[in-house]
Amino acid sequence: MSVVAVAPPLKRVTLWVRSLERSLALYRDVLGLEVLEEKQLQGAAIARMVGLDEASLRIAHLGRAGEPFGWIGLYEICDTAPRPMGETGSPRQFPLYGQSTLVFETTRVADLAVKIAALEGVTIMAGPTAYARGDGTFQELIFLDPDGIPVSLMGFTPAS
């Protein structure tokens, strides 16, 4: 029996964020993702999509210019009725079943660790840590973004 993929590569991961500005400070300003699109949507259809009577969405799509896949969507729900957005809590533990982790590859783990640690609402969970493998050394930093979403920065230096 052969298995056929039901979809092409992942288009986008959507992160539901409390503050678009705080999230952009991390993903755009520190990690260097490009803002590909910013928009605000409102109306009854948008509200129904998120289970409310009234709501608007502030959206920023980030990624690499010209790349149709691998985007990160930052979605802030605003102007809600009849209730505010629900909270999942802000888990300050890692890992938890059901969590996902965003993993970015970079050669600047140590440099970015300093900038990330200075951001409001970010929690460093581990690292930067270096560990060897036969063909080189990995560097990794794991942190929770302002909304408690686990993020890992990974680097690799080949053995000489």
Calculate what percentage of the chain has a pLDDT beyond 90.
45
Identify the pLDDT of residue 109. Answer: 93
For residue 31, is it within any domain? Answer: yes
Domain total for the chain?
2
Q: Is 77:18 a contact under the CB 8 Å cutoff?
A: no
In terms of domains, do 57 and 116 share one?
A: no
- pTM, two decimal places: 0.82
| Other CB atoms within 10 A of residue 60 CB | 22
In 3D space, the residue among 122, 22, 15 whose CA is nearest the CA of residue 74 turns out to be 15
Counting runs of H as helices and runs of E as strands, what totals does the chain give?
Answer: 3, 8
pLDDT in tens, 38-68: 999 888 888 888 788 888 999 999 999 999 8
In terms of domains, do 60 and 108 share one?
A: no
CATH number at residue 149: 3.10.180.10
Q: H-type helices in 9-52, by residue range? A: 20-27, 44-49
Checking if the pLDDT of 77 tops 80, the result is yes
In 3D space, the residue among 115, 88, 83 whose CA is nearest the CA of residue 99 turns out to be 88
**Mean pLDDT for the stretch of residues 133-150:** 90
In terms of domains, do 17 and 59 share one?
A: yes
Identify the pLDDT of residue 21. Answer: 96
Higher confidence at residue 50 or residue 34?
34
For residue 140, is it within any domain? Answer: yes
**How many residues are there in the chain?**
160
What residues make up the domain containing 127? 102-158
